[in-house]
Amino acid sequence: MCGIIGYIGKRKVIPLLLQGLKRMEYRGYDSSGIALIHDQKFQLYKQKGRIEELEKVLNGTAGDASVGIGHTRWATHGEPSVLNAHPHTSSNGKIALIHNGIIENYSELRKALAKKGYKFQSQTDTETLVHLIQEFYEGDLVNAVLRALRRLEGTYGIAVLHVDEPDRIVVARKGSPLVVGIGEGENFIASDLAAIVEYTRDVIFLEDGELGTVTTDNFHHFNLEESVIKRKVTHIDFNLDQIEKGGYKHFMLKEIMEQPQTLENTMRGRALDDIGEVRLGGLIRRLDELKDAERIMLLACGTSYHSGLVGEYMIEEWARIPVEVEYASEFRYRNPIIPPNTVAIAISQSGETADTLAALREAQARNALGLSIVNTVGSTIARESEGGIYLHAGHEIGVASTKAFTSQVTVLALFALLLAQQRDFPTDKIKEILGELRRIPSLVERILKKDREIFEIAKIFSRASNFLYLARGPNFPVALEGALKLKEISYIHAEGYPAAEMKHGPIALIDRMMPVVFIATRDKTYKKVIANIEEVRSRGGTIIAVVNEDDEEIMELSDYVIRIPSCHPMLMPILTAIPLQLLAYHIANLLGRDVDKPRNLAKSVTVE
Ligand code: M6R
């Protein structure tokens, strides 16, 4: 995820910006850059890759500039490259801008600006904004920024400099955090407290729809309607490590908790529920092939494989195209048969998993159209695929994948609906499902409020040696995922099964020492799952059930219940995954495990 830092004061700004950028490295990025104003001119430095690359170019120069902005970019529009790195400058070279967030209407704006003669250097959405500000500039940067922002759709946290107004940085926020650090004779801006906390602990947080002008000794704060805002200064008293983790003890917990936002980002501009349409920009050039697709293969490992299994239910149900989900590691060595009109999709958070990459290449070599569903922009899988859908879930740091899973399932739902809409699936049904999808972030938020309740259940079971996870239908892959989450971070043995499969073997394991987690939300297999719960109960197993909020029936049959809201049954896996993530997290934490870096595991498995 991108990071913003800015400074105006008396210090030499280059070392300060570099240090601030390093403090935000934990968020993940693929390029960085800084812009300084000196002698009424910009000095601009940008590099692809790590901040050390930027430092190499600067070669130890501290310079004399004392106003500047810096950015770490996590690519969303356009690959990681020097040209796409921020800051971006206007056509006349007088304005520099850094931006976090996504400008949704950038392509219309870009076309309109290009017609007026603006020259674009990058593929980014951000560059549109800097030219738009130039278009509106009539000697007052704040006014130009205000006018430009009124034309924008999407999210932003921005910092803007103009060489003719070197005594100020203009900042604004909508949907992307921004904070102003207050110093004496100097002021700071950042998207992340970690970048500035070593210089000041007095800060003012911007809220959505707010702007400000930061000078050496003042912060003038107002909103888009130009009403002045007087907000109290907040004093920060927590440490850097806590700040990087957003106040959470572990990145994994932070990533679980940020899912309402990441899911919103995943579907932004794609799920048009008002008109019942899905738009996936990365597949535009592949729509004809998708229309002709007769078979879909989903290739993945680990958690990504589990999301593929959920995708299988969705695609077959809505688009009626046969789907095969394969462990990438098996697919690559088993001489697979790939008939014409097969679309192979590699699913990967990192985009670097060796087996998934090899499976994609294998499918392409056998004439399948190779697409991808990836989180990390510009990763190898994203580059080698012939089209794809990014998750936009932000950098995932915890080794145990959480927010990527729910975003993968969301993307697979959108993909399934895109295929369905090409195959005359009724628009009103698409509308209805998209409407349900749009509710998901707020439903996830409600589930996250159950954190304390889930912690109490975790306390009871943290000493168990084995766990069984059972579910049916589209929730069955979530049972697999719940078991994987628990075993990888707590080191407790756990198995996931389709609930009906239990009596073909695992039932032998059931006794009072065996906690069995059932996902038992209402769908067409609900009654069957109740029967499976009865089977476990009659053998003395302890039942923890994830149920719908209004369910009384299962309450009677279970030892512990976790109640969650309902939505469209096919989308329930996004919701049912959340309590299982929290359960695994709390158990591992209670056991004192190294939650973010569990033993023997790597975040990205780049070897076979
Ligand atoms: O980056 P990928 O999605 O390709 O990674 C695949 C698996 O290695 C990954 O999901 C792994 O299973 C995680 N540790 C699960 O939490």
For ligand 1, what atom is nearest to the CA of residue 353? Answer: 4
Cα distances from 185 to residues 188, 388, 523, in angstroms, run: 11, 49, 62
As a whole number, mean pLDDT of residues 207-223 equals 95
Distance of CA 578 to the CA centre of its chain: 15
Q: Is 356 in the pocket of ligand 1 (CB under 6 A)?
A: yes
Last residue of a domain, one of 238, 264, 283: 238
Q: 442 and 545 share a domain?
A: no
Q: Is 488 in the pocket of ligand 1 (CB under 6 A)?
A: yes
Q: 410 and 484 share a domain?
A: no
Cα distances from 366 to residues 293, 337, 355, 362, 410, in angstroms, run: 15, 8, 17, 6, 29
Residue 248, pLDDT > 80, answer: yes
Ligand 1 midpoint to CA 601 (Å): 10
Q: 25 and 135 share a domain?
A: yes
For ligand 1, what atom is nearest to the CA of residue 300? Answer: 4
Chain segment 442-485, per-residue pLDDT in tens? 999 999 999 999 999 999 999 999 999 999 999 999 999 999 99
Q: Which domain holds residue 592?
A: 450-608
Ligand 1 midpoint to CA 165 (Å): 48
Nearest to 360, CA basis, from 388, 341, 340, 322: 388
Ligand 1 midpoint to CA 320 (Å): 28
Terminal CA-to-CA distance of the chain, rounded, Å? 28
Q: 433 and 461 share a domain?
A: no
Chain segment 86-138, per-residue pLDDT in tens? 999 999 999 999 999 888 898 899 999 999 999 999 999 899 999 999 999 99
Q: Is 581 in the pocket of ligand 1 (CB under 6 A)?
A: no
pLDDT, residue 608, reads 63
Nearest to 400, CA basis, from 253, 263, 241, 572: 253
Model confidence at 426, in pLDDT bands (50, 70, 90)?
Answer: very high
Q: 70 and 199 share a domain?
A: yes
Percent of the chain with pLDDT over 70: 100
12, 528, 597, 603: the catalytic one is: 603
Give the gyration radius of the chain's Cα atoms.
25
Last residue of a domain, one of 202, 217, 238: 238
Q: How many domains does the chain have?
A: 3
Q: 21 and 77 share a domain?
A: yes
311 with 285: CB under 8 angstroms?
Answer: no
Q: 312 and 199 share a domain?
A: no
Q: CA 322, CA 306: separation in Å to the nearest integer?
A: 17
Task: Give the residue, out of 347, 349, 580, with the most ligand 1 atoms within 8 A of its beta carbon, to mutate for a pocket test.
Answer: 349
Q: 373 and 428 share a domain?
A: yes
Chain segment 39-75, per-residue pLDDT in tens? 888 999 999 998 999 999 988 887 889 999 999 998 8
Last residue of a domain, one of 447, 473, 496: 447
